Amino acid sequence: MTAERRDSAVVVAVQAGLDVAALRRAFEELDGSRVVLLSKVYLDETLVRRLTEVLSAVAEREIHVDVKVNPTMDAGAILLVGEEHRVVLDPRSKWVAGIQRSAVERVENGELPTPQDTYEYLRDMLTSTEPEVSVEELLDTGSVAEVGDGIATVTGLRDVGSQELVEFAGGIFGIAFTLLGDRVGCLLLGPEEGIREGGDVVRTGHLLRVPVGEALRGRIVNALGLPIDGKGSIVPKAYLPIERKAPGVVERQPVNVPLHTGMKVIDALVPLGRGQRELIIGDRKIGKTTIAVDTILSQRDTGVACVYAAIGQKASSVERVVTSLAEGGALDFTTIVVALPNEPPAFRHVAPYAACAMGEYYMEQGGDALVVYDDLSKHAVTYREMSALLKRPVGREAYPGDIFYVHSRLLERAARLSDERGGGSLTALPIVETLAGDLSAFIPTNVISISDGQMMLDTALFNEGTRPAMDVGLSVSRVGGTAQARVLKQVAGRLRIDLAQYQEMAQFVKFGAEVDAATLEQLTRGERCRELLKQAQHAPLALEHEVLILFGVVEGLFDAVDVADLGAMERELLEYADVQQPEAMAVIRTASEVTAEVESALRAVIAAFLERRRPNLGGTPPAAGTAAPGDMPDAAVPDMGPAVAGPMSSGAVT
């Protein structure tokens, strides 16, 4: 390189804001001539040559640049000079951004009236100018001031970004969490034993990323996406940052595709749509997790990928969830993200964001995903603990004021994307645990206000045997109604009315009021509606089964069945329908609404079933019903055959 050329390279470097003196010191300490450039993207030869020239000029000797492409980086490039120094370079993105800015200005000034003009302008700019190397900042090394409780405070990291990943000497990573005067409070993503006070901390220039994609299906991972199920390493297709901006309004479209949960009470009364955020809220041990797990079980064969994040749950509870998913055949399409109570707090803090990123991947690909955050109460408590250790100011219930923002930016990422963006969706089921049903506490009110509705579970209902213990009056789904399957919607409207009327009348009857025949009928109906909304855990139903049961009850077809016998009757009816009436069930399954044909299919199936069941019941209905529920249809087929075939084949199949 000639002296003149070297000078001009140095001038370029200085103009670009490169700290030549500091860089020169780094080169003085460098043994040999090789430096490593970590880049997110492939860099073309011209650019690398130019960078080599600039660096050689600064070092005043030949420097060789080895480029290593590392797609997990957030942006730009990092130059490693020996072991001690790293420089964050951002050659391409600034250059492109500069061109883009000038194009936008020209469009706004009217200098580029048509898209064609803009295109030509951009093309000319890109081919005629070369990117310049600029240095955003030099190695920013801090040192550990204090360490403990999963947190380190660090001095000297001047320009570290919020949520940026930092690396401690010894290879432990941390997240820059909060600014405390001239210090930065960092959450440790590993054991603190190796971290000493006075030790070095360096910026990495990027956010924490987690592996995403199909390779995570069926796996149990920690909050960093590393496998903890002993099934070997995961080779992911991609990485995504755990924190991302939620899709904007123009990138979204209304939620109008149902997300089937398989629970009658939910699908009928608080229907969910893909892309919705629906809170599951209630005291401890009344079936919140069970609702989330059963919703996942229901996604088998729907193509909806699921992510379950266990945040601060006991290992035994997580195990129960894993077992239920495995037994229900749902593990193949589910990823389980676990942050246990004994792990560093940063893991519990990060877990829901990591799970969200894993779900977002499917949404971005145009697919559908469901993510469960179990639960955000424990997440909030973790945030409060970390904030207390870092002495941040506190607000209501000693939570830091930004806890609302912590949860809203998580839930905002649930969306149904516009068709231009691929039409994918991410549905979120956050769970919040209340104390003695107190919904007015800080975290419950916050999360209620940033969800599209809530399923409120009630301890009294759970204890009296109404399970799922959903309080129908207090639960809502604000966007799912438009997504609800039409066949179910028509049935559900009447169900809601029946339940409300029953509630009112049951009060009167309690006080010993005389009842007339009409009231008695409403009581009979309402009681049966309530009974048939009960459902065993881990037994999600197909849509046509839900329609069959709910149609039967609102039409009063089960009024003659003893309330205590309804559970057994339901099981028998569903089995009978599948085994004996597959054609009629197919009509219901594929129906877009309750037409005359569908209605007669529904009536025919139920009538035929009740007809053949009656003789079986004899004088003691419940006993006979429970004695041999499974055997009943088969045993009854020979003698009942002709009677059944008539109404069924005429009403339903043709």
Ligand X SMILES: Nc1ncnc2c1ncn2[C@@H]1O[C@H](COP(=O)(O)OP(=O)(O)O)[C@@H](O)[C@H]1O
The residues assigned a catalytic role are 478
Site string for ligand X, 461-500 (x = CB under 6 A): ------xx--------------------------------
Q: Which does residue 287 touch among Mg ion, ligand X, none (CB within 5 to 8 A, set by kind)?
A: ligand X
CA 242 distance to own-chain centroid = 12
DSSP string spanning 548-610? HHHHHHHTTTTTTS-GGGHHHHHHHHHHHHHHH-HHHHHHHHT-SS--HHHHHHHHHHHHHHH
Q: Any contact of residue 451 with ligand X (CB under 6 A)?
A: no
**Minimal distance in Å, beta carbon 286 to ligand X?**
5
Q: Which does residue 351 touch among Mg ion, ligand X, none (CB within 5 to 8 A, set by kind)?
A: none
Q: Any contact of residue 295 with Mg ion (CB under 5 A)?
A: no
**Minimal distance in Å, beta carbon 383 to Mg ion?**
19
Binds ligand X (CB under 6 A): choice among 56, 290, 298, 522: 290
Q: Can you tell me the distance from the alpha carbon of 265 to that of 263, in angstroms, rounded to the nearest whole number?
A: 6
Give the containing element (helix H, strand E) for 13: helix 3-15
Range in contact with ligand X (rule: CB under 6 A) among 52-60, 230-238, 282-290, 361-369: 282-290
**Minimal distance in Å, beta carbon 374 to Mg ion?**
6
Q: Which does residue 178 touch among Mg ion, ligand X, none (CB within 5 to 8 A, set by kind)?
A: none
Size of the site for ligand X (CB under 6 A): 12
Q: Which does residue 39 touch among ligand X, Mg ion, none (CB within 5 to 8 A, set by kind)?
A: none
Q: Any contact of residue 284 with ligand X (CB under 6 A)?
A: yes
Identify each DSSP E strand in 409-532 by its residue range: 415-416, 425-433, 453-456, 476-477
**Minimal distance in Å, beta carbon 26 to ligand X?**
55
The closest of 272, 281, 435 to 368, measured between CA atoms, is 272
Q: Any contact of residue 289 with Mg ion (CB under 5 A)?
A: yes
Q: Which does residue 286 touch among ligand X, Mg ion, none (CB within 5 to 8 A, set by kind)?
A: ligand X
Q: Any contact of residue 286 with ligand X (CB under 6 A)?
A: yes
Q: Any contact of residue 288 with ligand X (CB under 6 A)?
A: yes
Q: Can you tell me the distance from the alpha carbon of 18 to that of 22, in angstroms, rounded to the nearest whole number?
A: 9
In the block, tokens 């045993």 appear at 635
Q: Any contact of residue 526 with ligand X (CB under 6 A)?
A: no
Binds ligand X (CB under 6 A): choice among 276, 289, 377, 454: 289
Q: Any contact of residue 287 with ligand X (CB under 6 A)?
A: yes
**Minimal distance in Å, beta carbon 288 to Mg ion?**
5
Range in contact with ligand X (rule: CB under 6 A) among 326-334, 418-426, 534-542, 572-580: 534-542
Q: Which is nearer to Mg ion, 289 or 522 (CB)?
A: 289
The secondary structure of the chain in percent helix, strand, coil, rounded to multiples of 5, reads 45, 20, 35
User: Do residues 446 and 436 touch, judged by C-beta distance below 8 A?
Assistant: no
Burial call 14-25: b when 16+ CB within 10 Å, e when fewer:
eeeebbeeebee
Q: Please list the residues that pair with 238 across neighbouring strands.
A: 212
Q: Which does residue 349 touch among Mg ion, ligand X, none (CB within 5 to 8 A, set by kind)?
A: none
Q: Can you tell me the distance from the alpha carbon of 135 to that of 156, in angstroms, rounded to the nearest whole number?
A: 19
Q: Which is nearer to Mg ion, 536 or 564 (CB)?
A: 536
Range in contact with Mg ion (rule: CB under 5 A) among 2-10, 287-295, 389-397, 580-588: 287-295
User: Do residues 19 and 55 touch, judged by C-beta distance below 8 A?
Assistant: no
Q: Please list the residues that pair with 69 across neighbouring strands.
A: 39
* Amino acid (one-letter) located at 154: V
Q: Which is nearer to Mg ion, 139 or 372 (CB)?
A: 372
Is the bond preceding residue 301 a cis peptide, omega within 30 degrees?
Answer: no
Q: How far is CA 635 from CA 24, 279, 412, 515, 628, in A?
A: 91, 45, 54, 41, 10
Q: How far is CA 591 from CA 486, 490, 494, 547, in A?
A: 9, 12, 19, 11
- The residue sitting closest to Mg ion, measured at its beta carbon, is 289
Q: Which residues would be at the binding site for Mg ion (CB under 5 A)? A: 289
Q: Which residues would be at the binding site for ligand X (CB under 6 A)? A: 284-290, 467-468, 535-537
